[in-house]
Structure formats: C-alpha cells, structure tokens
Amino acid sequence: MKKPSASHVIKIERFTGLLSERPLYIYLPPGYDDSDRHYPVLFMHDGQNCFEAFAADSYVGSWHADEIADDLIGQRLMEPCLIVGVAHGGSQRMAEYLPPYITFYPKKEEESEGKRKGIVGRANRTVRYYQHDILPYIHEQYRVLPGRENRATCGSSMGGLFSTYIAWQFPDFARHHALVSPAYGITATEQGKMEPIERLRCDNPRDVRLWLDSGTRDAPGRGDDGRFQTAAARDALLQNGYVEGPNFRYHLAKGAIHNESAWAARLPLIFQFLFPPR
C-alpha cells in the first residue's frame, strides 16, 4: 500500500484584505496531495505561534499544531483537516481580538483633555476579515468542505476571548470553538462584571460546540491563568442550559501556566474535541 504524502505547512507572506497585510500559515494534512478529498478547516488565531515548521516566526515558541495534528491523524484520533493560522496585527492585536462592546484601559492615566485613553474593540471587523477575505481565499485555493459544521476556531488568551466572541455573535461562521485560557479578566467592569460571561449566561443558547479551559498558574509563583473567570464562564453556560458532554467540555489543567508550551500540552485534547474522527 502506498504511503500517503506527508503533511506540510504553506506560508503566504503577505496576505491582503480588510485588515493590515500579514502572513497566513496553512497546514495541509497527510494525504492531501494524493487525492481530490475535501476537508474541514480549523482557523487558529495568533498564527505566528501555531506551527513548529515556522517556529522562528514566533517570539514565544509554537503550539506544535502541525506535529500534533500529524500524530493524531496518524492514530486516527482526529479527522484530517486544514489548519489555517491567521497572524495577528502586531500592535493592533488587542483591538483586533477585543469585542466591540468593550473598551480596555491599560493604564489609569488621564489625557491632557481629561479623557482616559482606551483601546476600543474591533473584533467585529476581524470577523468580517475572516468571513470575506480569508474564508473565500481558502475555498478558492484549497479543497475544503462547505458549511459551519465543517469549520472550527481556536485561540488562547486574547485569541480565546476572540473565539468566544465569534461563537456567540457569529455562530453561522463555525460550529466548533476552543476557548483556551480566554482573557475574560480584561473585560471586567469596576463592579467586577464581565460582559462576555454575562452574554453566555443571559442570551439565547447558540448551536455551537465549545471547549473551555484554563491552567491554574499565570506564571511561576503568581496568578491563576484566569482560572476563576473561566470557571465563571463554565457556570454561566451551565445556567444557560448547556450540559458537559460531547458538545461542551470544561478542562482545568492543574499546574499549567499562561504560555504556548502549556497550550501545546493540551492541544491533543482540543483537536480531538474539535474534529473527532468520523
């Protein structure tokens, strides 16, 4: 029996569209070059950090998404899929991933005109970029299956907050979402309420599958990786009628910190949840 072609990651150096020019990284699974098969597609945020094949593009290390997908697909623990790593916009990263109903104030300083300087969320614009620039390009250039049932998103920290926003506000884009160490804490008001979590609690339930997780340490000796905020999001979803099982999973990674190596360690579980073998 002929051995299937090896997987590979393609880098598009300067992808242009609604947002500023940036790289796209596209993982093609084992066997892609051998047939006319069409595949589901996973969109990962912070694309510079996704693949070991381009680890040099990341200043914090990669998620090893290409190596992990190869291993799981080889063991038939994950449905073969394309993985599209969408790079962030550098200094614009926070605004790109922050929901438009949030303004984040990094410093409690007053400007000369008496107004605090805040970062206004533009995640709605970023979703349009995914919908109208990246998704059509992927469909034109590669063999992917149509429909939300065959699409997933995955992001960590601000990317986890962004995937929360996509899942809740744009459920027609994709059905499967991984919210990894999501940065809910930066959305807290002075009263302590976090708007994304309140929406998970109070809005009508969405037809989406959700992986939600955190570690227990933000960094050695301090922090908790948003553990309690993520647990609050879990409780909000349970109150809204979700049930932990095949379509909703909460995972607490004991001892894990807020970095790429910790996220890579649980990526095998995440990938198996997003696209289990058919």
Q: What's CA 242's distance to the chain center, in Å?
A: 20
Helices and strands, counts by H and E, the chain: 8, 10
DSSP letter at 273?
H
pLDDT for residue 113: 47
Distance CA 175, CA 210 (A): 8
On whether residue 203 sits in a domain, the answer given is yes
**Structure confidence by residue, pLDDT tens digits, 172-228:** 999 999 999 999 999 998 788 999 999 999 999 999 999 999 999 887 666 799 999
DSSP letter at 137?
H
Distance CA 191, CA 184 (A): 14
Distance CA 256, CA 259 (A): 8
pLDDT for residue 59: 84
- Strands across the sheet with 176-180, in order? 8-15, 22-28, 82-86, 41-44, 151-156, 176-180, 209-215, 248-253
On whether residue 1 sits in a domain, the answer given is no
pLDDT for residue 221: 65
pLDDT for residue 24: 98
Q: Which domain holds residue 71?
A: 8-274
pLDDT for residue 110: 45
Residues 6+ apart with CB under 8 A from 39: 29, 32, 80, 81, 82, 143, 144, 145
On whether residue 59 sits in a domain, the answer given is yes
* Number of domains the chain is built from: 1
Residue 138 φ then ψ, to 5°: -65, -40
On whether residue 81 sits in a domain, the answer given is yes
Residues 6+ apart with CB under 8 A from 55: 61, 62
pLDDT for residue 108: 59
Q: Which residues of the chain are modeled with pLDDT < 50?
A: 110-113
pLDDT for residue 237: 98
pLDDT for residue 112: 45
Any idea what the CATH number is for the domain that residue 46 is in? 3.40.50.1820
pLDDT-above-90 percentage for the chain: 87
On whether residue 3 sits in a domain, the answer given is no
Distance CA 25, CA 134 (A): 11
On whether residue 2 sits in a domain, the answer given is no
pLDDT for residue 106: 78
